[in-house]
Amino acid sequence: MTADSGHATPVDDQGAHLPGSLPGGLAETLRYGPFHRALHDAIAHRGLSLARLRAHLEQLGVQVGQSTLSYWQRGLRHPEVPRAIATVRALETVLKLPPESLVALVGNRPPPRPPRPSGWVSPVPVLSEFEAVTDVGANTDIEVLSVHDTVLIGPEREQRSISTRMVVRAAKAGPDRYLAVHQGDEGCLIDNALVRPGEGCRLGRLRRQLATRGLAFELLFDRRLAEGEEHVFSFTVVDDTGGPTPGHRRAFREPCRGYLLQLAFNRRALPARCTKQFRVDAEAVPVDLEELVCGLGGFASAYFEDVGPGVAGISVEWT
């Protein structure tokens, strides 16, 4: 589920911000860094989507990919010196920041990401009891290449089911299962939720936790994968007892090449607004905001390229 987000001042407002007029949090990150946090705060302060930011940079003759801007503000990559200095200076111009304020932070690289934990870590607080009976190292030997989630939403605005197709690759020889989690919407009866395995897997152990509306389950492959072997499997979670859904989100512990999320609305209950969002963690302020169109067929779709680590999803607002 996702939270509501506020509206920042649009970039097209008249008058540049003087250094002394910057909000305290942004002024502090511009002074002390790190670079990705300062860039993120400056973009949020200006109220720009990454698409609009890229368009403004192009007007200055600077070509940079939207995915690169996303990586920079999330700390997944860092501007290369000296090649990216001109781009960083153009960002200062578009974002109306003091000259050299971002450039001064480019040399301050973020610390390396901590090593991946040896055991599986739940993205929701559902699975302490499951971890006690789950093999150590579950999912750590599997690389997720792509995910496609289709969420069916009913006439009472309730989430009815989530159908998932995944493509994974074995990082080493031996993995024969995938551990998945689901968290139901507010008011759902998680005891009533069902898991229906599809192609490429069968259902293994399953645990529920009422307090967090959480569900954890194993999807067993038909064999142990060889190192480098790719595997496709699918499954559906039927969980239709919750209240009006606020949307859907998926947590990624490691980078994933592509994530396609589609919400299929009943024609008698179309949303007032759908927003594509990415968060560095479940409680963080959303970034990469983008308004989505819910077409005549009742579908709202969002594609995330090279997503994660973090939480990707679609937020839904109702009338």
Residue-wise pLDDT for 232-284, tens only, equals 999 999 999 999 999 999 988 888 999 999 999 999 999 999 999 998 876 77
**Structure confidence at residue 1 as a pLDDT band (50, 70, 90):** very low
Q: What percent of the chain has pLDDT over 90?
A: 50
Task: Give the Cα separation of 308 and 116 in Å (integer).
Answer: 14
Enter the tokens of residue 217: 């389950």
Contacts of 191 (CB under 8 A, 6+ apart): 208, 210
pLDDT band at 16 (very low <50, low <70, confident <90, very high): very low
Q: Show me where the domains of the chain are located.
A: 19-106, 142-175+184-201+228-317
Amino acid of residue 10: P
Question: Cβ distance 75 to 53 under 8 Å?
Answer: no
Average pLDDT, the chain: 82
Per-residue burial over 125-151, b = 16 or more CB atoms within 10 Å of its CB, e = otherwise: ebbeebbeebeeebbbbbbbeebbbbb
Q: Name the fold adopted by 142-175+184-201+228-317.
A: Immunoglobulin-like (2.60.40)
Evaluate whether 19-106 and 142-175+184-201+228-317 have a shared fold: no
Please tell me the distance from the alpha carbon of residue 43 to that of residue 312, in angstroms, as a whole number: 19
Report the CATH architecture of 19-106.
Orthogonal Bundle (1.10)
Please give the pLDDT value at position 199.
Answer: 96
Q: Which amino acid is at 181?
A: V
Q: Is residue 20 scored above 90 in pLDDT?
A: no
Q: Is the confidence at residue 17, as pLDDT, over 60? A: no
Q: Say whether pLDDT at 13 is over 50.
A: no
**Whole-number Cα distances in Å, 72 to 76, 79, 112, 212, 244:** 6, 7, 14, 34, 35
What digits encode the pLDDT tens for the residues 185-227? 999 999 999 999 999 999 999 998 888 888 999 999 999 999 9
Beta strand pairing call for 299-307 and 194-197: unpaired
Question: What does the pLDDT read at residue 21?
Answer: 67
Residue 284: CB atoms within 10 Å = 14
